């Protein structure tokens, strides 16, 4: 299934590449003579436009399965994809001084390519739904057993109008394992005959019903007659959970969530990104920013330039978090969170908070390994103690290194948290980030953080 999804995504990507290429060429001819050869500058632009679209789509996860199979999910992400693509294209035009490109041509390019992509996605969804319904309709399935997972599987196939047959669905649960296996042995030849007579495509059997010897026997029978043989175990207790399967040798290991940052490779990749990014900021931005901010802070109020506070880090270990000081020195800074209109916040501090410039010293924390560029925001020790008591799985966000910015923050959950339900939503976003981490996701969050800082945020105070 995983490889099929990969090739499906590749197919969509290549098809959109072709569609946009054709749209660019159509736009070129719409704005001029049909017999006129395409100028080299326009050809370069065509491929820049196409690659910008593919890059923006990858950045906004437009090729993830959910968005490929739902036109609504795709349309919701379309604006951010187009915005990023336009930004890349405009940067190319300005950077290469491609003034030969007319506004009329650019308008035609977007008016032909974007509707074409939307139509393609809609047709893709229709084709997928038709294929999916046909796939279930033509299947003939035999289900053997009566445990909860088997019953749920039977109901699932029935809802898809699949032809499905039941065997051994009235077993007495009080029977011993030996008695159940004896009954299965008595029925197994009848099941084989039935499958051949009815041209069954797939057999699903409850795992507790069957011995290792019978597994081999039925597997060989299925292979010899081109029938898919699958075994079902009872995960009914986990039916509302996402189950992730790993293999240690030949042993399947189940976990209730994906953990991409558990592997050494991903940890090393994220750490390398953090070191390179934080070094860049410290070497090239900090020398310019630091003297200006330090002077402004000192001119307005007495006290140190930096504010240091113990925060909860990875594995809930305490670390000293650095910030530019944004408040007048006060005794409540470690226990009382900043609120809207907080009189402790200085005028310079308000500006630093609004633009997130107060967080820049935390790149020192990133370099030392206490923080990451992207991750769950570290909270005051007092908040960690309070919220871990009232919010389920609150401490799970401390499985990884905290960040200067995070998935919750770019989705509007930053700043003051007076309502526990708001903190619960923040935890949900942090949990999603931990389960879905990728280096591209980190880059996307950094981009959105900068964009939010430029346009201003309501909760930034």
Final residue in a domain of this structure, among 240, 273, 294: 240
**Which pLDDT value is given to residue 99?**
65
Is 125 contained in some domain? yes
Residue 140: enclosing H or E segment and its boundaries?
strand 140-144
Q: Are residues 44 and 177 in the same domain?
A: no
**pLDDT tens-place string over residues 299-319:** 888 889 999 999 999 989 999
**Which pLDDT value is given to residue 310?**
92
Q: Are residues 145 and 125 in the same domain?
A: no
**Which pLDDT value is given to residue 405?**
94
Q: Are residues 286 and 391 in the same domain?
A: yes
**pLDDT tens-place string over residues 40-99:** 777 888 888 888 888 888 888 788 777 777 777 777 778 888 888 888 888 888 887 766
**pLDDT tens-place string over residues 104-126:** 888 888 899 999 998 998 888 88
Q: For 457, left (φ over 0), alpha (ψ -120 to 50), or beta?
A: beta
Is 407 contained in some domain? yes
In this structure, what are the phi and psi dihedrals at residue 143, rounded to the nearest 5 degrees? -115, 130
Q: Are residues 173 and 129 in the same domain?
A: no
Is 249 contained in some domain? no
Find out whether 50 and 17 touch, Cβ atoms under 8 Å. yes
Q: Are residues 106 and 158 in the same domain?
A: no
Is 250 contained in some domain? no
The residue behind tokens 């296996």 is 181
Specify the pairing of strand 228-232 against strand 163-167.
unpaired
**Which pLDDT value is given to residue 216?**
83
Closest C-alpha among 348, 410, 325 to residue 376: 410
Q: Are residues 282 and 369 in the same domain?
A: yes
- pLDDT class of 166 with cuts at 50, 70, 90: confident
Mean pLDDT of the chain: 83
- Residue 103 burial (CB < 10 Å; 0-12/13-18/19+)? exposed
Q: Are residues 22 and 74 in the same domain?
A: yes
Structure tokens at 233: 């175990």
Q: Residue count of the chain, please give it.
A: 461
**Could you tell me which residues come within 8 angstroms of residue 355 by beta carbon, excluding any fewer than 6 positions away?**
453, 460
**Which pLDDT value is given to residue 233?**
76
Is 460 contained in some domain? no
**pLDDT tens-place string over residues 317-353:** 999 999 999 888 887 766 677 767 678 888 998 888 8
Per-residue pLDDT, averaged over 17-26, amounts to 88
Report the percentage of the chain scoring pLDDT > 70. 88
- Residue 271 burial (CB < 10 Å; 0-12/13-18/19+)? middle
**How far is Cα 336 from Cα 76, in angstroms, rounded to an integer?**
38
Cα 80 to chain centroid, rounded: 15
CATH number at residue 207: 3.40.50
Say which residue, 305 or 242, is predicted with more confidence: 305
**pLDDT tens-place string over residues 247-277:** 766 677 777 778 888 888 889 999 999 999 9
Q: H-type helices in 199-242, by residue range? A: 212-224
**Which pLDDT value is given to residue 415?**
66
Per-residue pLDDT, averaged over 358-375, amounts to 94
The 228-232 sheet, strands edge to edge: 163-167, 140-144, 202-206, 228-232
**pLDDT tens-place string over residues 186-241:** 788 888 999 999 999 899 888 766 677 777 888 888 888 888 888 887 666 565 55
Say which residue, 439 or 94, is predicted with more confidence: 439
The whole domain housing 270 covers: 262-455
Q: Are residues 65 and 200 in the same domain?
A: no
The residue behind tokens 């305490």 is 318
Closest C-alpha among 432, 408, 441 to residue 59: 441
Cα 26 to chain centroid, rounded: 35
Final residue in a domain of this structure, among 83, 109, 136: 136
Is 254 contained in some domain? no
- Can you give the pTM of this predicted structure? 0.63
**Could you tell me which residues come within 8 angstroms of residue 253 by beta carbon, excluding any fewer than 6 positions away?**
245, 246, 247
Closest C-alpha among 253, 454, 229 to residue 356: 454
Domain count of the chain? Answer: 3
Q: Are residues 42 and 68 in the same domain?
A: yes
Q: Are residues 215 and 281 in the same domain?
A: no
**Which pLDDT value is given to residue 1?**
46
Is 461 contained in some domain? no
- pLDDT class of 137 with cuts at 50, 70, 90: confident
Per-residue pLDDT, averaged over 389-409, amounts to 90
- pLDDT class of 3 with cuts at 50, 70, 90: low
**Least confident window among 55-64, 347-356, 384-393, 401-410:** 55-64
Is 60 contained in some domain? yes
Final residue in a domain of this structure, among 136, 154, 183: 136
Q: Are residues 109 and 187 in the same domain?
A: no
Q: Are residues 100 and 130 in the same domain?
A: yes
**pLDDT tens-place string over residues 280-305:** 999 999 999 999 999 999 888 888 99
Q: Maximum CA pair distance of the chain?
A: 91
């Amino acid at each position: 299934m995983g490889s099929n999804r990969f090739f499906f995504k590749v197919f969509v990507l290549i098809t959109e590449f072709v569609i946009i290429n054709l749209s660019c060429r159509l736009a070129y001819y719409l704005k001029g003579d049909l017999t006129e050869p395409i100028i080299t500058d326009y050809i370069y632009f065509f491929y820049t436009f196409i690659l910008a679209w593919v890059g923006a789509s990858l950045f906004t996860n437009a090729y993830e399965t959910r968005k490929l199979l739902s036109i609504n999910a795709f349309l919701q992400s379309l604006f951010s994809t187009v915005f990023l693509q336009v930004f890349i294209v405009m940067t190319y035009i300005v950077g290469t001084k491609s003034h030969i490109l007319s506004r009329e041509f650019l308008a035609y390019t977007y008016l032909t390519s974007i509707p074409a992509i939307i139509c393609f996605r809609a047709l893709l969804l229709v084709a997928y739904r038709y294929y999916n319904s046909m796939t279930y309709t033509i299947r003939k399935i035999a289900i053997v057993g009566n445990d909860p997972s088997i019953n749920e599987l039977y109901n699932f196939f029935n809802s898809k109008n699949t032809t499905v047959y039941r065997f051994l669905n009235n077993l007495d649960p009080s029977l011993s394992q030996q008695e159940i296996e004896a009954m299965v042995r008595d029925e197994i030849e009848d099941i084989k005959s039935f499958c051949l007579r009815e041209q069954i495509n797939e057999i699903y059997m409850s795992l507790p019903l069957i011995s290792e010897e019978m597994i081999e026997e039925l597997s060989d029978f299925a292979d010899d007659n081109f029938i898919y043989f699958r075994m079902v175990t009872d995960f009914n207790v986990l039916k509302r959970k996402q189950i992730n399967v790993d293999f240690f040798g030949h042993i399947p290991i189940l976990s209730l969530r994906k953990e991409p940052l558990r592997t050494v490779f991903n940890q090393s990749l994220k750490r390398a990104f953090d070191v390179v990014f934080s070094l860049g900021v410290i070497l090239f931005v900090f020398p310019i920013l630091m003297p200006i901010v330090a002077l402004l802070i000192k001119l307005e109020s007495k006290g140190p330039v930096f504010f240091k506070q113990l925060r909860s880090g990875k594995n809930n270990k305490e670390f000293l978090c650095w910030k530019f000081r944004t408040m007048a020195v006060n005794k409540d800074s470690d226990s009382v969170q900043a609120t809207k209109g907080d009189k402790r916040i200085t005028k310079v501090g308000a500006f630093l908070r609004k633009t997130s410039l107060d967080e820049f010293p935390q790149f020192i924390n990133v370099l030392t390994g206490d923080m990451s560029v992207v991750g769950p925001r570290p909270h005051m020790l007092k908040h960690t103690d309070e919220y871990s008591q009232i919010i389920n799985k609150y401490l799970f966000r401390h499985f990884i290194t905290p960040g200067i910015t995070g998935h919750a923050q770019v989705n509007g959950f930053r700043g003051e948290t007076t309502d526990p339900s708001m903190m619960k939503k923040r935890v949900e976003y942090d949990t999603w980030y931990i389960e879905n981490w990728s280096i591209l996701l980190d880059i996307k969050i950094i981009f959105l953080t900068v964009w939010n800082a430029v346009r201003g945020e309501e909760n930034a105070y």
